Amino acid sequence: MKGWTGQLLRINLTTKNATPEAYSKDFALQFVGGRGFAAKILWDEVPRGTDPLSPGNKFIAAAGPLSGLSMPNVGKTVVAAKSPLTGMYGDGNLGTHFGSQLRRSGFDLVVIEGKAEDPCYVLIEDSDVSILDADYLWGIGAFEAEQKLEDRHGKNIGTLMIGQGGENLVKYAVVRSMMGRAGGRPGMGTVMGSKNLKALVAKGSRTPEIADVSAFRQLGRDGFKDIREKPGYDHWMTQGTMLIHAWCQEYSVLPSYNFKEGQFEHADALNGDTMESMKEKTRGCPSCTMQCGHCIKDSEGKSAELDYENVALLGSNIGLRDLREVATLNRLADEYGLDTISLGNTIGFAMEASEKGILKEKLDWGDYQATRDLIQEIAFRKGPLGSMLAEGTHQVAKKLGKGTMDFAMQIKGLEVSGYDCHAAPGMALAFGVCSIGAHHKESWIITYEVDVGRETYDESKVDKIIELQRIRGGMFEQLVSCRFPWIEVGFDLEWYPKYFTAATGLKWKLDDFWSLADRVYSLVRAYAVREYNGEWDRTMDHPPARWFEHPLSCGPLTGATLDQDGYEKMLSWYYQKRGWDDRGIPKKKRLAEQGLDWVIPELEKVTTLE
């Protein structure tokens, strides 16, 4: 098998055993890498009802068949586990040398099981695996921990680590790497923390074997050149994801005041131009010519990286108007390893609950110092408020009651990313049916929707959502390659089957990747249905009540809300096109067509299938 190493590394932290395992060719062909590998293993090996924070959960870091090869933007790794935030399959995709160093050690993925008795970290050096004492790392932030690991194991290592948020089991703790990369929104860092696992380090010396070395080398060179010559490339390099900020304000989708509004009166102070005027450097993932991490000096004089999502959720969504202060909050989230999107949502929710007198603590919109303190309280679970907010908005709203669920901006437990949908039914549906909760990563339909007409509830929008899910939530997550070359500068999708063929020798077309994506979508959905244990229905795919019931009160779209009937109509189309029943559960026939008949007996233990 060329392209893949054909090996996974299984590490049990309870027994301290590390075992290399050959995986089958069928596993490689059916699931390819990244999300596909992780979903299949979690389905097979983490039994229904497993507590996500128990030793029975598994933490997986998975590369793909292109990881570590000389081509654009493959310096990423998928981290996955059963999520403590949603109770379903969860994952994220972050920039790191870890995946390529793991492959250079001879493995495509690592599966961590059990729980260490004391804080530890794992060092993988080719086939040598050590479980080491993490006493000197536990309790410190992700930046410092990374520095210490580099001091000890050298500069060119691949690392995945957690901050104090993961250690203290904040439910939305992420995995960190490279002094600025973060991934695994649905609590993948929390799962590491629950295993007393501070970090994973890999350094390898082998070169992954591929089918056609010279063709790959040429394609790699051509790909980098093509990206740099794209007409949008120079523009992208000025602000990266922050380019979208001004657009979001213009079209009333910029989350403001816990998604009450889609415009912010101080948006100019937070937008990409402001960021650009303060920019001190750029950084990003390995093997990337599009470095999108733009850093400014924060309000405490330290360097902090800004992305659109971070600025939207820790800026306008909590009523904060100073970009350097936003940058400080962003840096703290990075240091503690907390997901900025869930954090900004949770704080915005708490501010609104405080405004309404439901929370007794006083927490005003835009109060920087109170927010700064609160982030620390959340990371360390200090005090009743910090500890409560560490659970995420869904759990907090359940606890508080009094109608707070209506403005808890989450779907299936995962907080909504930075696009207000009062007047964007397509984007609302994209959040609603995203396989891991309300994330924009799978189907970012918002710019398309604004172009074609945001007031319509059309079947064509549903088709677009599925098309984007196949590309973004599918091919890029299985190949573990950054989607930005394609979506941001127009790098043609046809490059990817070419890279895949040169690596593996398999002559796949884009359609083969779409079938793969559909298979993994059905599997991840089946996983969710299984874990809901018979309680699953279509309301799980509903966005927060706020977008239906509380109209925008400012800007050109004042009065806008979503229409419930229109939404249901689109949701039904989505289910029909996916081959799922009207509860959103995959039908037997579709599962069988997708080669997933083996999930049927397990699903039938919790529900009836059509």
Q: Catalog residues that contact ligand SF4 under the rule CB under 6 A.
A: 73, 95, 284-285, 288, 290-292, 482, 484
Q: Whole-number minimum distance, CB 343 to ligand PTT, in Å?
A: 8
Residue 309: name its binding partner from ligand PTT, ligand SF4, none (Cβ under 5 to 8 Å by kind): ligand PTT
**Distant-in-sequence, close-in-space partners of 398: CB < 8 Å, separation ≥ 6:** 405
Rule CB under 6 A: is residue 420 a binding residue for ligand PTT?
no
Measured from the CB atom, is 111 or 292 closer to ligand SF4? 292
Instruction: For residue 266, report the phi and psi dihedrals to the nearest 5 degrees.
Output: -115, 25
Rule CB under 6 A: is residue 413 a binding residue for ligand PTT?
no
Q: Using CB under 6 A, which of 12, 77, 83, 93 touches ligand PTT?
A: 93
Q: Using CB under 6 A, which of 8, 39, 53, 94 touches ligand PTT?
A: 94
d(CA 210, CA 328): 44
Residue type, 580: W
Q: Whole-number minimum distance, CB 67 to ligand SF4, in Å?
A: 12
The answer to whether residues 294 and 306 touch, using CB atoms and an 8 Å cutoff, is: yes
Place of tokens 């939404």: 567
Measured from the CB atom, is 200 or 557 closer to ligand PTT? 200
Instruction: For residue 414, report the phi and psi dihedrals to the nearest 5 degrees.
Output: -95, 130
**Distant-in-sequence, close-in-space partners of 26: CB < 8 Å, separation ≥ 6:** none
Nearest residue to the partner ligand SF4, using Cβ: 284
Instruction: For residue 107, report the phi and psi dihedrals to the nearest 5 degrees.
Output: -130, 145
User: Binders of ligand PTT: how many residues, by CB under 6 A?
Assistant: 31
Structure tokens at 434: 């995203």
d(CA 135, CA 149): 12
Q: Using CB under 6 A, which of 226, 298, 334, 531 touches ligand PTT?
A: 334
For residue 282, with 0-12 CB atoms within 10 Å meaning exposed, 13-18 middle and 19 or more buried, which class applies?
middle
Measured from the CB atom, is 339 or 391 closer to ligand PTT? 339
Measured from the CB atom, is 257 or 308 closer to ligand SF4? 308
Residue 291: name its binding partner from ligand SF4, ligand PTT, none (Cβ under 5 to 8 Å by kind): ligand SF4
Tell me how far the alpha carbon of residue 604 is from its chain's centroid: 30
**Distant-in-sequence, close-in-space partners of 167: CB < 8 Å, separation ≥ 6:** 119, 138, 139, 193, 198
Q: Whole-number minimum distance, CB 254 to ligand PTT, in Å?
A: 13
d(CA 177, CA 497): 28
**Distant-in-sequence, close-in-space partners of 192: CB < 8 Å, separation ≥ 6:** 59, 112, 160, 162, 166, 173, 175, 198
Rule CB under 6 A: is residue 328 a binding residue for ligand PTT?
no
Q: Whole-number minimum distance, CB 201 to ligand SF4, in Å?
A: 20
Place of tokens 């059990």: 114
Rule CB under 6 A: is residue 263 a binding residue for ligand PTT?
no
The answer to whether residues 189 and 163 touch, using CB atoms and an 8 Å cutoff, is: yes
Place of tokens 């091919």: 475
Q: Whole-number minimum distance, CB 291 to ligand SF4, in Å?
A: 5
Q: Whole-number minimum distance, CB 73 to ligand SF4, in Å?
A: 4
Nearest residue to the partner ligand PTT, using Cβ: 92
Q: Whole-number minimum distance, CB 608 to ligand PTT, in Å?
A: 34
Q: Which of 598, 606, 460 has its CA nearest to residue 519?
A: 598
**By CB under 6 A, what part of segment 143-202 binds ligand PTT?**
174, 180-185
Residue 184: name its binding partner from ligand PTT, ligand SF4, none (Cβ under 5 to 8 Å by kind): ligand PTT
Residue 290: name its binding partner from ligand SF4, ligand PTT, none (Cβ under 5 to 8 Å by kind): ligand SF4
Residues 502, 506, 509, 513: is their CA dihedral positive or negative?
negative
Residue 288: name its binding partner from ligand SF4, ligand PTT, none (Cβ under 5 to 8 Å by kind): ligand SF4
Measured from the CB atom, is 129 or 489 closer to ligand SF4? 489
Angle at 67 between CA 62 and CA 69, to 5 degrees: 165
Rule CB under 6 A: is residue 483 a binding residue for ligand PTT?
yes
Rule CB under 6 A: is residue 339 a binding residue for ligand PTT?
yes
The answer to whether residues 171 and 392 touch, using CB atoms and an 8 Å cutoff, is: yes
Q: Whole-number minimum distance, CB 240 to ligand SF4, in Å?
A: 7
Q: What is the binding site for ligand PTT (CB under 6 A)?
A: 92-95, 174, 180-185, 241, 285, 305, 307-310, 333-334, 338-341, 441, 476-477, 481-484
